Amino acid sequence: MSQLSSPFEKYELAGAFDEMFDSSGTVRPHYAPLFEMLQDSPASELKRAKQESDLIFLNQGITFTVYGKEEGTERIFPHDLLPRIVTRKEWQHVEAGLTQRITALNLFLQDIYHGGRILNDGVVPRELVYTCKYFRRQMRGLKVPKGVYIAVTGTDLIRDLDGNFTVLEDNLRVPSGVSYMLTGRQVMKRIFPKVFRQSGVLPIEGYPQALLQSLNALAPEGRDEPNIVLLTPGVFNSAYFEHTFLARQMGIELVEGRDLIVHDNIVYMRTTSGLTRVDVIYRRIDDDFIDPLAFRHDSILGVPGLFNAYRAGNVTLANAIGTGIADDKALYAYVPKIIKYYLGQDAILPNVETHILAEEGPRQYVLDNLEKMVVKAVGESGGYGMLIGPHASKAEIEEFRLKILADPRNYIGQPTLMLSRAPCFVDGEFDSRHVDLRPYILYGDKITIVPGGLTRVALRKGSLVVNSSQGGGSKDTWVVDES
């Protein structure tokens, strides 16, 4: 391995695709302005920049909540100083791939809640769909405006050893993190204005407006100037900052379940000047909790009667109820087939090889190789319910083995992936950390993706878990125009 020049002497390059350097240790051209700036800046200056950026996050209250810890549960979101940079050409490929994927997944949702063609044709096994806990039979036959089920998606992408973008998972229920993408950008503009200007970064400021337009497009028919609200579970939710941020940026009301009432299948919002009709609800509450009459009876976050108003077509929920079926991790394995089935195309962005443990052959293979595999519970998110074979102890592996045997439908196995690495500024030095990329896909009249996304970083050295609740952080993502 060749020696990297200062200040990257200690930087580890081997074993994964690196975002900044090619395998010979040469800086990739689109990283050149950043690299030059880092070479010219003394460490003390970067440390000061890091403190400044942390302070901005703290003062703005950009924090999240970690569940399951007694003290100090509100933390600032760890934001790495160095941006992750993607070229416009790479981005166009990602954009085309995501557009294709989301179009197909939306058609899939429409299909399984109506005729179920894809099930009749045997492309996706029927029992896989019907045993998924996110399949909502209440949605059968229900027409949603413009046939759009997934107004907002966050799809997690990783790069394999050769640098190809690969889909790790889709988040079709209530994906979060977009506020960190937007605020992270504001902070970076303050900290590294010069490099920013030189690099030609494509703007992402239009996201709130694009989201609002998508929500507008999905309003019930005949409601020309729809009243749109954002439904939050409340101040104790880990993403509450994001809810307030988006509501503010879109200029819409932020409401909790208790602020809404349903009368004659019409949803109203309590305001200081009486009741106002609500047409579109951008909900950040899971299906289970949204209406205690239709789903979980013990939910106090939801709005009684909301589902009936929804069925009657008097209000739009974004995302629709029941979208979780399409991001079930076992169903994920079928997405390339789903794309082929509805669009007649091959998937532009490949999947990670996935073993469905409900099937006997793959199950045996995974159980035999547990120490090399990653096993995930199909319906979990946020990095919970996951086994990373190479990093787990013997006892943990055995415990997981029993769990898999008890309920094989609930798990999938994947090979342990080497996520690509990018330089991070950690404790005053540059070091490499694994990263992924979550772009946000909006679907209203058409599909819109702002150029960028949230790059999540596994801040512990060598770790592959990027989730914020598990010691992950974020980076600003720059899509640069190299011309």
Partner 1 sequence: MARYLERAEHTTRLLDANIQLMLEQKPQAVERQLRRINLSLGEPLKLEGKLSVPALEHALIFDPRVKTSIISCVMNARENARQVREQISSEMWSELNALYHFVKRYDADDLEQQLPLEFLNEVRRNISLFKGETDATMSHGEEWWFLQIGRHIERAANTATLLKVHAAELCGEADIEHLELLALLRSCNAFEAYLKKNTAEFSADNIVEFLLLNPQHPHSILFSVRRLEESISALPEMSSRGERGKVERLAGRLAATLLYSSVEEILSSGLHLSLDNVIRQCAQMHSAIHQAYIDYPIETSLSA
Interface positions with partner 1 (CB under 8 A):
186, 189-190, 193-194, 196-197, 201-203, 205-206, 208-209, 211-213, 216, 228, 248-252
DSSP 151: S
Our CB check for partner 1 shows the closer of 212 and 459 to be 212
Residue placing its CB nearer to partner 1 in the complex, 194 or 394:
194
Peptide bond before 408: cis, by omega within 30 degrees of 0?
no
| Rg of the chain in Å (alpha carbons) | 23
CA 350 to CA 471: how far, in whole Å? 28
Element of type H or E holding 185:
helix 178-191
Min dist CB 196 to partner 1, Å, is 5
197/277 with CB nearer partner 1:
197
Helices within 81-177 (DSSP H only): 88-112, 117-120, 126-130
CB 15 within 8 A of CB 7: no
Structure tokens at 258: 């208790």
Three-class DSSP category at 262: strand
- Residues 6 or more apart in contact with residue 397 via CB below 8 angstroms: 370, 371, 387, 389
Q: Which is nearer to partner 1, 210 or 293 (CB)?
A: 210
What distance in Å separates the CA atoms of residue 301 and residue 158, rounded to the nearest whole number? 34
Pull the structure tokens for residue 260.
């809404």
Best CA proximity match to 17, nearest among 157, 117, 124, 220: 157
The smaller minimum CB distance to partner 1, of residues 208 and 383, is found at 208
Least distance in Å: CB of 218 to partner 1?
15
**203 or 390, CB closer to partner 1?**
203
Instruction: Write down the least CB distance from residue 20 to partner 1, Å.
Output: 22
Q: Is 325:112 a contact under the CB 8 Å cutoff?
A: yes
Residues 291, 297: Cα–Cα separation, whole Å: 8
Tokens of 262: 């349903």
Taking the least distance from each CB to partner 1, the nearer of 61 and 251 is: 251
Q: Which residues, including other chains, have CB under 8 Å from residue 437's CB and lie 6 or more apart?
A: 84, 86, 156, 157, 158, 165, 453, 454, 455, 456, 477
Least separation, in Å, of the C-beta of 189 and partner 1? 5
Rounded least distance, CB 177 to partner 1, Å: 19
Which CB, 393 or 483, lies closer to partner 1?
483
Residues belonging to the chain: 483
| Cβ-based nearer residue to partner 1, 228 or 375 | 228
List alpha helices for 284-415, DSSP H: 287-290, 306-311, 329-332, 335-343, 360-368, 394-406
Positive or negative, the CA dihedral 219, 222, 226, 232 is negative
- Which candidate, 290, 179, 277, places its Cα nearest to that of 231? 290
Q: Give strand ranges (E) for 6-91.
A: 63-65, 74-76, 84-87
Cβ proximity to partner 1: between 202 and 367 the closer is: 202
15 or 206: whose CB is closer to partner 1? 206
In the complex, the smallest distance separating the C-beta of residue 58 from partner 1, rounded to whole angstroms, is 16
Secondary structure of residue 226 in the 3-state scheme: coil
Nearest residue (CB) to partner 1, 252 versus 441: 252
Q: Are 336 and 350 in contact (CB under 8 A)?
A: yes
Distance in Å, CB of 191 to partner 1, minimum = 9
What phi and psi values does residue 131 have, to the nearest 5 degrees?
A: -90, -5
